[in-house]
Structure 1
C-alpha cells in the first residue's frame, strides 16, 4: 500500500465512507427516483422561441438552409460590422470551406490575438435562448470565451425545449460529463453600482448565432 492509499484509507474510515462505486450508484438511484420539479410546456416552434429569447439577450441571429451557406454568411456578418475576416474555429466546424468565403482562419485553441471565434454547439435551449457547449479536444472552450466576437453554429434539430432536456440529451449521448459544460446566454456582461450594463467585460462582446436548417 502506498502512502497515498494509506492516507485516503484513514480519511474514508474517519468519515465512515464505504465503497465509492456503491455510493455513486445509491446517489444516482436517488436522483432517478426523485420526482421532477415543475417545468414550462413550450408549445409551437422551438426555433422561433430560441431566436426570440436569444435576441432579447443581445445575441444576433440568422438562419440558413445548410452548412454550405455558413462561410459566406459569416464573411458578410464580419464585413457588415467592419471586423477583420480572420477567425479561429473549433475543430468540429473546421471542415467548412472558410477560405472560399475569403476568411483567413485556423483551427484549434484561441489566443488573445484572435478577434473572432467560430464554434458549433452541443445543443441549444429554446426556453432561455442559451447555448450548451461541451469542452473537449475538438471543442476547446477558449474559442467561444476568449475572442471579442463569438459566432456559433446551431443545428435547428439540436434545439431542445428546456435545460432539463439538454441534460437528458447529454446523458443519453455522452454518458459522463466532460471536463466543462458552459452555458452561453448572449454576450458577456456586467453592471456597476449604478446598474450600467457593459458588454464584453469578461468574454465576447458580440454573440452571433447561425441556425442551420429547420426544426426537426
Structure 2
C-alpha cells in the first residue's frame, strides 16, 4: 500500500470537510513554511543560573546516576570504578568516536564498535544534553551508532559540560547550526527505558537499558 497516497487522501477529506480546497494552495504553503522557518519559541521553564547543576538534578530525578570528572581522559577511570562498584564487570563497547580514550589504562576492555546482542555495556558521548529535563540528545552516524545506547542493558554517556544547553529549542538550534539538518536518527534519552503498561507498575529496561550513568566532563 502506498502510504503517501493514503495519507494524501485522508488529508484531502479533512480539508474538504473544512470547506477548503483539497490541495494545499501556494499561500497556505508559504505561510506554513514561514512559520516553521521562524522557529517560534513557546514558554520555557526557568532552570536557574547553573545549567549544568540543573541538568544533573533532573538526570537524577529521571533515575540516572551522575558523576563529574575534570577532563575527558579521566572518564575511563571513573567509568571503570562505577562499573566495578555496580557489579557490571570490565567489558564494554563504545562509539568509534570514543575509541582513543585510555580504556585499557583504566583496566577496562572496551571495543570501539556497534554492539551485538551479547554486549552488556554501551558507552556513548552526546551531541548535546538538555538541562530542562535531564535529557541526552544523541545523533546517529558512522562513529556514533544509535545501537550503542539502545541494545546494551547499561548505557554510560560521557557529556561535556559545554554541550549542556538550557532547553530543547537550544539543542535543536545547535543541531541546525552545526549539522544543517537532522541525521538519519536522533534520540532523546531521559533516563533508563521504562513502561507502566501493565497495571501502571513501572518496569525498567522494557525497551532499552535498565540503567543510565552520566559522566559530566567539566573541561571541554
Aligned to 2:201: 196
Aligned to 2:45: 40
Alpha-carbon distance between aligned partners in 2 of 1:191 and 1:160, rounded to the nearest angstrom: 30
Q: Which runs of 5+ in 2 are unaligned?
A: 1-21
**Residues 65-106 of structure 1 deviation map (CA, whole Å, 9 limit, x = unaligned):** 001111111110110011120000001211101011111121
Q: CA RMSD in A?
A: 2.4
Matches within 5 A, 1:153-164: 153-164=158-169
1:104 aligns with 2:112: no
Deviation at 1:122, TM superposition (A): 0.2
Given candidates 60, 70, 76, the residue that maps to 1:71 is 76
Matches within 5 A, 1:101-180: 101-180=106-185
Aligned to 1:92: 97
Contact 1:90-1:143 within 8 A present in 2 as well:
yes
Name the TM-score, length of structure 1 as normaliser: 0.85
Matches within 5 A, 1:17-36: 27-33=32-38, 35-36=40-41
Structure 1 residue runs of 4 or more that deviate by more than 3 Å after TM superposition: 15-19, 23-28
Contact 2:122-2:152 within 8 A present in 1 as well:
yes
**Residues 130-153 of structure 1 deviation map (CA, whole Å, 9 limit, x = unaligned):** 000001111000001100000000
Which sits farther off after the overlay, 114-123 or 41-50? 41-50
Given candidates 30, 38, 57, the residue that maps to 2:62 is 57
Contact 2:59-2:133 within 8 A present in 1 as well:
yes
Aligned length: 201
Alpha-carbon distance between aligned partners in 1 of 2:185 and 2:136, rounded to the nearest angstrom: 14
**Residues 34-65 of structure 1 deviation map (CA, whole Å, 9 limit, x = unaligned):** 64321223321111100100001110000000
- Cα separation, partners in 2 of 1:98 and 1:30, compared to 1, 3 Å: same
SS at match of 1:171: helix
Name the TM-score, length of structure 2 as normaliser: 0.84
**Residues 150-193 of structure 1 deviation map (CA, whole Å, 9 limit, x = unaligned):** 00000001000000110011001100110011000000011144
